[in-house]
Structure 1
Amino acid sequence: MSLLNTDVKPFSAQAFKQGKFITVTEADLKGKWSVFFFYPADFTFVCPTELEDLADAYADFQKLGVEIYSVSTDTHFSHKAWHDVSPAIKKINYVMLADPTHAISRDFGVLIEDAGLADRGTFVIGPDGKIQILEISAGGVGRDAKELLRKIKALQYVASHPGEVCPAKWKEGEKTLAPSLDLVGKI
């Protein structure tokens, strides 16, 4: 069963954010756009490039009212240690969620059971707590924060403009579509 348009399941997790340990629950997601950005493990190879890319674009996500939650099956202590020693990870100002029990990764369907690690999963959650985008990427392929931003802008546009949809490669300010019988077979 697809998780698209389903509610985020209840959770409580320790996290590292800007030099502090915090607790995050599903209640923290309500009322704003959120991204859950699952990655396999701290102290690895592709993961820091992705997390640094998100860190570099974090201000752009914040301008859209979007909070980022990176998630791995590591502990919040591991996140802090990685943050303290890696120049790429030091840039991170968003939440680094810990999932050592694997409960969150399992609930989002990204847990690689025999490895105890998460797949590269990206989930965009709307202010109502429902999953609006879900993508799972192969372990050796990094994701792109700019493409994620584009998709979030499209989601937010559609949410605030009922009756309109965004075509492929749509960018903010470009023409949208209003689905109707008149468009059938003409695109």
Structure 2
Amino acid sequence: MLTVGDTFPAFRLTAVKGGKEGLGGPGRSFTEITGESDPGKWKIVFFWPKDFTFVCPTEIAAFGRLAGEFADRDAVVYGVSTDSEFVHLNWRLHNDDIRDLPIPMLADVKRELSEALGILDRAEGVPLRATFIVDPQGTIQWVSVYGLNVGRNPQEVLRVLDALQTDELCPCNWEKGKATLDPEALFEQAA
């Protein structure tokens, strides 16, 4: 599995657009997203196992509710599964929790991105619940992976992004607006 410090793989995937544009129907609902899309932005790329399941829409909707918070931090959010763009669109149309989802849903149908990242579940052949924070230079700065049955906490992803963007030492449970660590001051206290 790729990890912190690795370059996020190049990709080119079809996606259902976020927001109301994504509900325009085949031919109007889709766009292409690549690793070069949204240059200069931080990227939050999260994967879920399958559409039309139970845990997945709770996570997807939670990321959607935080889309504005991520945008305020100069970050874009991409949701990805190995389902097709047609399945994504149908799911959005029939699930109230994600119907107005403001983030794109990418279709990794050939499993190329999931395989390149090393996040396919060996038994099921679907992506694990992996989340990557990628800096504007394309370097992975944070990775979190959950099994198929446990949902993640998108608020924690936002907290980690905040910490990464300080470029400072952040203590356990640090939150935006709190003090970061000053190694010189800590060394002087210990002396």
Is 1:60 paired with 2:87?
no
Q: Tell me the SS of whatever aligns to 1:90.
A: coil
Identity percentage of aligned residues: 35
Following TM superposition, the consecutive aligned residue runs of length 4 or more in structure 1 with deviations greater than 4 angstroms are none
Please report how far the alpha carbon of residue 138 of structure 1 lies from its aligned counterpart in structure 2 after TM superposition: 1.9
> Which runs of 5 or more residues in structure 1 are unaligned?
159-163
Q: TM-score, normalised by structure 2?
A: 0.88
Please report how far the alpha carbon of residue 78 of structure 1 lies from its aligned counterpart in structure 2 after TM superposition: 0.6
Distance 2:187 2:172 in 1: 16
Is 1:147 paired with 2:147?
no
Please report how far the alpha carbon of residue 91 of structure 1 lies from its aligned counterpart in structure 2 after TM superposition: 2.8
Partner of 1:16: 16
Q: TM-score, normalised by structure 1?
A: 0.90
Please report how far the alpha carbon of residue 180 of structure 1 lies from its aligned counterpart in structure 2 after TM superposition: 4.7
Is 1:174 paired with 2:183?
no
Within the candidate set 147, 155, 160, 1:138 is matched to: 147
More strand by share: 1
**Are the equivalent residues in 2 in contact too, given 1:105–1:111 (CA < 8 A)?**
yes
**CA-atom RMSD, angstroms?**
1.9
**Are the equivalent residues in 2 in contact too, given 1:4–1:134 (CA < 8 A)?**
yes
Q: Tell me the SS of whatever aligns to 1:67.
A: strand
Residues 90-130 of structure 1 deviation map (CA, whole Å, 9 limit, x = unaligned): 13111111011011111111112442210000100001110
Distance 1:71 1:182 in 2: 42
The amino acid across from 1:81 in the alignment is N
Count of residues in Structure 1 that have an aligned counterpart in Structure 2:
181
Partner of 1:28: 37
Partner of 2:92: 83
**More deviation, 118-127/177-186:** 177-186
Partner of 1:183: 187
Distance 2:5 2:38 in 1: 15
